[in-house]
Amino acid sequence: MSEKKEKSNVVVEEAISLDDPSLYFNRELSLLEFNDRVLAQAKDESIPLLERLNYLCISCSNLDEFYEVRVASVIQIQEMDKFARFSDGLGTEEQLKQISEQAHQLVDEQYRVLHELLIPALDAEDIRFIRRDQWTDKQREYLKKIFHEELQPILTPVGLDSAHPFPRILNKSLNFIIALTGKDAFGRNSGRAILQAPRALPRIIPLCQEETGCGAHDFVFLSSIIHEFVDELFTGMTVKYCHQFRVTRNSDLYVDDDAIDDLLGAVEGELAMRNYGDEVRLEIDAQCSEATVNFLAARFGITEEQVFLVNGPVNLSRAQEIVDLVDRPDLKFAPYKASTPAVLSRHKNYFDAIKKQDILLHHPYESFTPVVEFIRQAAIDKDVVAIKQTLYRTSSDSPIVNALLKAARADKEVTVVIELRARFDEKANINLAARLQGAAVNVVYGVVGYKTHAKMCLVVRKEGKKFRNYVHLGTGNYHPKTAMFYTDYGLFSSNKDLGEDVRKVFVQLTSLGKVTKLHKLLQSPFTLHNELIAKIDREIAIAQKGETARIIFKVNSVVEDKLIQALYRASQAGVEVKLIVRGICSLKPGIKGVSDNIEVRSIIGRYLEHTRVYMFENGGDQEVYASSADMMGRNMHRRVEIAFPIEYKSLKARIINDLKGYLKDNSQAWIMQSDGSYKQSKAKGEVFRVQDELMAQHLGV
């Protein structure tokens, strides 16, 4: 930070080093802060009740992934270099300690919200989780029948002795440790047994209203049924106790890019081991004795900081099943029907519409169906000769994939770049690749060492004697289902230079060759990072002339050091910087002399904010880029990403107006403080929620 020194009665201000660790917030702690904001939605009484339960479960599943990937990564770094430090100055040991403290607070709050807020509210709406001590005789008989007919036949308890070693525990599976007394048929008495609940079993069991006389929406946790009848699995023995537990494992796949010659085979090999990675967290029933907790912790090599004693079901995220099981529209968000741009509605042939003008889609406010229809029409259009597509994540029953298969069967040249290492979608993408190859689609896996994260589709159409390129570029995946819940932009265009750029990027991904100059696209790992910094520097130069300079970025994460430093320099020069960041933000706003002119806000609402937009004032000639890339090192240097310009005036104005709406939000916006914490905006007058506003706008289209 800056210091003042007096020399010969002259005050000299030392320059502020932008490498100072105090200027950066730890990315892992920032991600935990995001989960706090998600959990806050579960406490918000203005949100429909079942949606509040959904937010609680999302915060739990987010924490699962946080431990599977992020905490696992920090532990691995610690094992490789115990002296490693991060940009915020924290070493691995201190970082893991702070993660543990914050994560334990989050988990305690999750269970408090469940027991003190949601369960009473659900009970008031006649939606009940019936505890064992509340079961009536009829309910107990019904559940005993369920146990005998549906559970007992597939449950396999394992007694622990020299012939039965501790079983391999699947990642995030529901398990029970059971203490026994007495001897079995062979005269054995090991004292302990382990029972794993098969994943095929539902975690929430509805009670039959006719057989039990219960309410229409009364449920029992699977764990309660197993607890109640577990003694029937151990004939002639006595169960002293039965406690549930769950282990979270390192689930990040490791593929040595320098040592492989078969990426598909390497990923398949790693997938087989995902459920048995190193243990990083142990959740166990809070009623469990200290001796049993210590026994399990020692067995899994878990430290005290990685043990979570929980007051309820260890697999709390599975309570999300209730949202689908309960038919109460009044307790859910009102259905929203996405609109279709009028310009597409007027044209049966999409190519005629796109030839006339660029077309912008904003999902989920506008339907994803036009994207599917674009590819479907390309598949059956007699003039289309080739389709090239990137797929990072998509649904198993994707209509886009069906259209690509149809195009290949119609003898069109179809090329699909599939990213095999899309985290947690690896198996689905391997199956997808096999399905496409079976129809003679040209399938490639991108570039070894660089994930293909760009969202692109290129359709080559012969019109007369010339070929014309039509493109769709997006900020989100080609996934019709997530497009209903994630906010993303998509652009249709037949611009010659843009189409040629997309063609060149596909050549890079499918072939070999030097980097080629692109006309309009910014691409990582080649030009995107440097160009963003250059455009920030241009705003700095404009501000230094005394002119208005402004930057608005809307992204999911802000982590990359050089970009953060460029924004700090911009703030120091007087550039107004507005950052709309859904999740991680390592930049600290509001620091005197460094980030006085930077505001960071996060919008948490009905839809997951996923759009990436980079807006530069540029002396009044505003530039807007939509992108697949966040401001992270991996996006800038270790992935193939694109940022595409929005040049059509009305479309650019639309996006800028959307950004202004996000900056105006005074209800669902959380403002980041200089210490990394967030405060929710509280409307002093009229409430403005940007997501509600966007829904209203597009309903009127």
CB atoms closer than 10 angstroms to residue 701: 12
The string of DSSP letters for 130-170 reads --GGG--HHHHHHHHHHIIIIIGGG---EE-BTTBPPPPPP
Cross-strand partners of 362: 489
Query: Tokens in use for 36?
Result: 């706090």
Cross-strand partners of 271: none
- Cβ atoms of 500 and 469 within 8 Å: the answer is yes
Q: Which of 450, 422, 445 is nearest to 510 (CA)?
A: 445
Which H helix or E strand runs over 635? helix 633-637
- Cβ atoms of 695 and 636 within 8 Å: the answer is no
**In terms of residues, how long is the chain?**
701
For the chain, how far is it from start to end, CA to CA, in angstroms? 51
Residue 195 to residue 204: CA distance in whole angstroms: 18
Nearby residues of 53 by Cβ (< 8 Å), 6 or more positions away: 42, 118, 122, 319, 320, 322, 323
**Number of helices and strands (H, E) in the chain?**
22, 29
Cross-strand partners of 387: 414, 459
Cis before 364 (ω within 30): yes
The string of DSSP letters for 335-353 reads P---B--HHHHT-SSHHHH
Residue 227 to residue 240: CA distance in whole angstroms: 11
- Cβ atoms of 390 and 417 within 8 Å: the answer is yes
- Residue 692's identity, in one-letter code, is D
CB atoms closer than 10 angstroms to residue 198: 12
Residue 250 to residue 77: CA distance in whole angstroms: 13
Query: Tokens in use for 50?
Result: 């079942």
The string of DSSP letters for 382-429 reads TTEEEEEEEESS--TT-HHHHHHHHHHHTT-EEEEEE-TTSTT-HHHH
- Cβ atoms of 443 and 437 within 8 Å: the answer is yes
Distances (CA, A) of 599 to 32, 571, 629, 675: 20, 10, 21, 13
CA angle (102, 630, 61) in 5-degree steps: 40
- Verify whether residue 453 is a known catalytic residue: yes
One of 453, 479, 529, 698 is an active-site residue; which one? Answer: 453
- Cβ atoms of 559 and 633 within 8 Å: the answer is yes
Residue 396 to residue 393: CA distance in whole angstroms: 9
Q: How many CA atoms within 13 Å lie on the side-chain side of 642?
A: 29
Hey, which residues are catalytic here? 453
